[in-house]
Amino acid sequence: MIQSMTGFGKATVVYGTKKINVEIKSLNSKTLDLSTRIAPLYREKEMDIRNLLSKKIRRGKVDFSLWVEKDETEAGTPINTSILMNYYQQIKQIATEKDIPLPADWFSTLLRMPDIMTRSEVQELDKEEWAVVEQTIEKALQELDTFRQQEGEALAVKFEGNIAAISQLLKEVEPFEKERVDKIRTRITEALEKTISVDYDKNRLEQELIYYIEKLDINEEKQRLSNHLSYFLSTMKEEEAQGKKLGFIAQEMGREINTTGSKSNHAEMQNIVVRMKDELEQIKEQVLNVM
């Protein structure tokens, strides 16, 4: 069954004091267009993440985000007490040596000194944490896949309605075909009788009318369009249905509908063709969202 390129997947996991979040959004695109926003700790794994995503997502404009929320008790930047005490001793020593008054507000003075509030530890990504992150990405991908399948099912229902409408309109053309032929014959005959005062060869006229009417015959176009409609429906049910293939079929449907319109030479038939085109435009618009 078809899948939509529009989708959303999100997964979270708590690891120690961290809440790891993964979010994947996708829209339609001719190829895979992947952009990533990754928390600094995991940036060394960007290529692994891209490979993981490209294996599961064939087409679409994809935005991938991986970020971390830390426990509020751990969120504040700690004061580096060793540096603070070092500044404290230096200031006291200089004040004594130079006979300078000590600060009235020690904390206000010390907290403005460089490197007092900086993290000294260097974080490294261990294998266990990366395995947890990888599982979270997989879960987000599953959510995205489920979303795309649901959207694809909705698209399939819409396409089936459009195809059924075109098929019904194709049947509505039939009653006007014989009427059209009779009208053409009558119009040409009356025109000849009014404008030509001499007798004319009626057998030759009949031959010319047959040749002319054959040029306006739309049986082949109707048959090909009917085949394209059936092919579109069967392609939607394929296990690996592709939006590009459905797009090509829609183009061929358009050719037959346009040819039918140019051959119609009948107001009612042309009205029906316009309604066919309207249904087809809806298909073409939505098929851009199919994987």
End-to-end CA distance of the chain: 10
**pLDDT tens figures, 232-258:** 999 998 877 688 899 999 999 999 999
**pLDDT tens figures, 156-207:** 999 999 999 999 999 998 888 777 766 776 776 666 666 655 565 667 666 6
DSSP string, the chain: ---BS-EEEEEEEEETTEEEEEEEEEE--SSEEEEEEE-GGGGGGHHHHHHHHHHH--SEEEEEEEEEEE-HHHHSPPP-HHHHHHHHHHHHHHHHHHT-PPPS-HHHHHTTSTTTT---------HHHHHHHHHHHHHHHHHHHHHHHHHHHHHHHHHHHHHHHHHHHHHHHHHHHHHHHHHHHHHHHHHHHHH--S---HHHHHHHHHHHHHHT--HHHHHHHHHHHHHHHHHHTSTT--HHHHHHHHHHHHHHHHHHHHHH-SHHHHHHHHHHHHHHHHHHHHHTTB-
Range from 17-21, 181-185, 210-214, 244-248 carrying the lowest mean pLDDT: 210-214
- Going by the DSSP 8-state scheme, the letter that residue 5 receives in this structure is S
Contact 161, 279 (CB under 8 A): no
Q: What is the pLDDT of residue 84?
A: 81
Cα(59)–Cα(29) distance, integer angstroms = 6
How many CB atoms sit inside 10 A of residue 223's CB? 11
| Percent of the chain predicted with pLDDT > 70 | 83
Element of type H or E holding 196: none
**Span 11-35, average pLDDT:** 92
Q: What is the pLDDT of residue 197?
A: 56
Element of type H or E holding 38: strand 32-38
Strand partners, 32: 60
Q: What is the pLDDT of residue 273?
A: 92
Report the chain's mean pLDDT, rounded to a whole number: 85
Q: What is the pLDDT of residue 101?
A: 87
Cα(49)–Cα(64) distance, integer angstroms = 9
Element of type H or E holding 49: helix 46-56
**By C-alpha distance, which of 177, 170, 157 is closest to 264?**
177
DSSP string, 104-154: S-HHHHHTTSTTTT---------HHHHHHHHHHHHHHHHHHHHHHHHHHHH
pLDDT class of 119 with cuts at 50, 70, 90: low
Highest mean pLDDT among 77-81, 85-89, 130-134: 130-134
Cα(235)–Cα(158) distance, integer angstroms = 15
Q: What is the pLDDT of residue 161?
A: 96
Specify the amino acid at residue 238.
Answer: E
